[in-house]
């Protein structure tokens, strides 16, 4: 599989994965936000429902107490009481007892119902009190003496039900506290009874605290959650973990501050940390201004979000695998076609290179012939002179040694010529740093005899750094091709001045090699096709049309540069631009 095809598949995969990741992230974020809002809303809704149920129960208790207080207010005859306090109160208690008993029998919410008379109106602690005991309604006779209940200030906790409602227009919730007479922990709602300006006593109703705690303990949204009941001052009324723990352990100061800020809100949600665990707290106000709260650890509440995240990530991975598999399967026909095209192009390239090398081999043989013709003539003359000297008796050791030395020097030069040609024809395998001047010298040495034969003047100049990084033999090949074209143009045009100028200079990180000849300009109709393979203007002399094509391929694809031809006065300038050694970074 070719690198371009791999890059295309990689880019498509990367783009698809990026789009899928962005879409998946948006879906995940929105789904998470939606589920978070739903979970928080559910917690608040649960708190509101529970608060509503408690409010209904409490309202029922308040209704019973308010009705009882109103009955006493309207039925109590102050004049008759003042005329005969003990007799009237004894008679009134009998009537009231019947009413309290019947009222208690009609409700399943209240545990007890009572009216406690003001002891200042009578010398005795008079009270009408009925409670549900063992499933039956029983009359309770308070044992004030043994239970140490009295009506003296400061009052104790179990007497708050009597003192707190006085001088208030509404009833008061008290508790929980332990009632020694019925041996129960209760919540009590009581309301002061006034007949005119006379304080008659208080009417009240009790709820079993144990029953309330049991009910609240079952009021939770998840297994590890729980519910809390607070009074109007955010003090704990019911807490499932209240045993043996202080108020600060149950509600941290930071949580109380957050609750204080929500005093004006009917319901809402609070996020806080307790004992190192992040929690969600949904709260709702009861009608008596108490606060019902549902508490849930975030880890359990947000478990569906974590599950959804895992599912979406798994789906994303599966989709990515399916996408990659689809791209591979989909690209197989294309890859096969691409491979076929690559094979065809490779065969064409091999043919082009073969034809180019064949042409260059012919050029080399011609140049070798030019290079060796004069040395071989010289050797022939030396041998002929030696033979004449031998015939005329003039051959001595000194003359022989001198002739042999000349022949050896000539042969060494001919050997160097063969080495230069063989090095030129070897393909470069690795990029190396090299000096462009060596390439110019090698190309000129290969064409020295041909240039001299046609009486062409060559000038060479260098300016600045001349080192680069790449394939020296291939650059020598390009310079050789351009010198061949320059020579052929001069030979064909027969100008008055036969000149080739070579200049190597540095320009902003690039080396510029210009080869300018005086062999006439390029015609406008031929200019666009100069670098096409097999296009040549020298068909009569055996041109293949591959020289400039191969040269541009080498410069652009192998050297990372550019090759241009342009007309100048009296001739053509070939411009090669390749990166300097200091600006090249090998991949």
Sheet with 267-274, edge to edge strand ranges? 236-238, 226-230, 291-297, 277-285, 267-274
What pTM, to 2 d.p., does this model score? 0.49
Find, among 528, 454, 541, the residue nearest to 490 by Cα: 454
Rg, the chain, Cα only = 57
CB 43 within 8 A of CB 269: yes
3-state helix, strand, coil in the chain (%, to 5): 55, 20, 25
More confident residue, 502 or 7: 502
Beta strand 277-285 pairing with 291-297: antiparallel
Helix (H, G, I), strand (E, B) or coil at 366: helix
Find, among 491, 506, 486, the residue nearest to 443 by Cα: 486
How far, CA to CA in Å, does 122 sit from each of 19, 72, 338, 540, 575? 88, 16, 114, 148, 128
- Model confidence at 171: pLDDT above 60: yes
d(CA 205, CA 65): 6
Tell me the CB-side half-sphere exposure of residue 460, using CA atoms within 13 A: 11
d(CA 183, CA 432): 103
Partners of 457 in the β-ladder: 499
Q: Where are the domains of the chain?
A: 428-583
| Residue 178 pLDDT | 86
Beta strand 510-517 pairing with 499-507: antiparallel
- Please, which pLDDT band fits residue 540 given cuts at 50, 70 and 90? low
Share of the chain above pLDDT 90, in %: 19
Q: What is the DSSP string of 395-428?
A: --HHHHHHHHHHHHHHHHHHHHHHHHHHHHHSPP
| Residue 499 pLDDT | 92
564-582 pLDDT, tens digit each: 999 998 899 999 999 987 6
d(CA 45, CA 51): 10
Partners of 238 in the β-ladder: 229
33-66 pLDDT, tens digit each: 877 888 888 888 888 888 888 888 888 889 999 9
Q: The tokens 């079952």 sit on which residue? A: 218
Token pair for residue 534?
Answer: 């097999």
d(CA 160, CA 146): 18
- Region of 175 please: left (phi>0), alpha (psi -120 to 50) or beta: left
Residues sharing a CB contact under 8 Å with residue 484, sequence separation 6 or more, in sequence order: 363, 447, 547
More confident residue, 540 or 152: 152
| Residue 297 pLDDT | 85
Sheet with 127-133, edge to edge strand ranges? 136-139, 127-133, 112-117, 198-208, 184-195, 172-179
Token pair for residue 215?
Answer: 């009910």
251-291 pLDDT, tens digit each: 888 888 888 888 888 999 998 887 778 888 899 998 888 89
| Residue 586 pLDDT | 44
d(CA 323, CA 312): 16
Share of the chain above pLDDT 70, in %: 83
Tell me the CB-side half-sphere exposure of residue 455, using CA atoms within 13 A: 4
d(CA 293, CA 275): 18
Q: The tokens 């809303």 sit on which residue? A: 41
d(CA 330, CA 234): 68
Q: What is the DSSP string of 77-112?
A: -HHHHHHSHHHHHHHHHHHHHHHHHHHHHT-SS-SE
CB 139 within 8 A of CB 167: no
More confident residue, 568 or 219: 568
Which of 51-55, 174-178, 309-313, 418-422 is the least confident region? 418-422
CB 586 within 8 A of CB 531: no
Helices (H) and strands (E) in the chain — how many of each? 14, 18
Beta strand 457-463 pairing with 127-133: unpaired
Residues sharing a CB contact under 8 Å with residue 127, sequence separation 6 or more, in sequence order: 114, 115, 116, 117, 142
Q: What is the CATH number of domain 428-583?
A: 3.30.565.10
Which of 88-102, 132-146, 160-174, 208-222 is the least confident region? 208-222
């Amino acid at each position: 599989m070719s690198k371009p095809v791999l890059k295309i598949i990689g880019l498509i995969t990367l783009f698809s994965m990026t789009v899928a990741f962005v879409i998946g992230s948006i879906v995940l974020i929105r789904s998470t936000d939606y589920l978070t809002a739903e979970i928080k809303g559910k917690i608040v809704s649960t708190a509101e429902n529970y608060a509503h149920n408690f409010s209904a129960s409490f309202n029922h208790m308040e209704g019973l107490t308010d009705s009882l207080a109103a009955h006493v207010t309207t039925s109590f005859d102050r004049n008759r009481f003042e005329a005969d306090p003990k007799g009237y109160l004894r008679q009134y208690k009998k009537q009231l007892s019947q009413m309290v008993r019947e009222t208690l029998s009609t409700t399943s919410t209240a545990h007890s119902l009572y009216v406690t008379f003001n002891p200042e109106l009578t010398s005795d602690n008079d009270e009408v009190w009925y409670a549900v005991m063992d499933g039956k309604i029983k009359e309770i006779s308070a044992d004030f003496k043994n239970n140490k209940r009295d009506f003296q200030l400061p009052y104790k906790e179990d007497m708050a039900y009597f003192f707190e409602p006085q001088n208030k227009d509404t009833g008061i919730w008290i508790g929980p506290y332990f009632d020694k007479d019925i041996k129960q922990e209760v919540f009590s709602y009581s309301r002061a009874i006034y007949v005119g300006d006379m304080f008659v006593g208080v009417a009240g109703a009790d709820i079993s605290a144990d029953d309330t705690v049991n009910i609240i303990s079952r009021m939770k949204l998840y297994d590890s959650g729980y519910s809390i009941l607070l009074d109007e001052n955010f003090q704990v009324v019911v807490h499932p973990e209240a045993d043996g723990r202080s108020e600060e352990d149950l509600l941290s100061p930071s949580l109380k501050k957050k609750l204080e800020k929500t005093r004006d809100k009917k319901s809402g949600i609070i996020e806080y940390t307790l004992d190192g665990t992040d929690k969600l707290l949904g709260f709702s106000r009861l009608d008596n201004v108490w606060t019902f709260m549902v508490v849930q650890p975030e880890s359990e509440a947000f478990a569906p979000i974590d599950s959804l995240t895992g599912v979406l990530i798994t789906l994303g991975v599966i989709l990515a695998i399916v996408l990659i598999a689809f791209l591979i399967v989909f690209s197989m026909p294309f890859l096969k076609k691409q491979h076929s095209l690559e094979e065809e192009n490779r065969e064409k390239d091999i043919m082009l290179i073969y034809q180019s090398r064949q042409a260059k081999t012919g050029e080399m043989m011609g140049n070798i012939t030019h290079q060796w013709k004069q040395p071989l003539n010289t050797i022939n003359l030396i041998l002929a002179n030696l033979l004449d000297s031998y015939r005329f008796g003039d051959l001595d050791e000194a003359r022989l040694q001198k002739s042999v030395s000349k022949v050896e020097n000539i042969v060494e030069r001919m050997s160097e010529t063969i080495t230069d040609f063989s090095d030129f024809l070897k393909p470069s395998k690795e990029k190396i740093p090299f000096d462009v001047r060596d390439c110019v010298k090698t190309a000129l040495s290969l064409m020295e005899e041909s240039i001299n034969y046609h009486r062409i003047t060559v000038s060479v100049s260098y300016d600045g750094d001349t080192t680069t990084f790449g394939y020296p033999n291939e650059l020598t090949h390009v310079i050789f091709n351009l010198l061949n074209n320059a020579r052929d143009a001069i030979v064909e045009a027969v100008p008055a001045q036969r000149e080739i100028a070579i200049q190597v200079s540095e320009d902003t990180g690039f080396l510029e090699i210009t080869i300018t000849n005086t062999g006439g300009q390029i015609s406008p109709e031929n200019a666009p096709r100069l670098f096409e393979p097999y296009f040549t203007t020298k068909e009569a002399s055996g041109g293949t049309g591959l020289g400039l094509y191969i040269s541009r391929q080498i410069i652009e694809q192998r050297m990372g540069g550019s090759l241009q031809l342009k007309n100048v006065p009296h001739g053509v300038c070939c411009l090669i631009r390749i990166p300097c050694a200091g600006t090249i970074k090998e991949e």
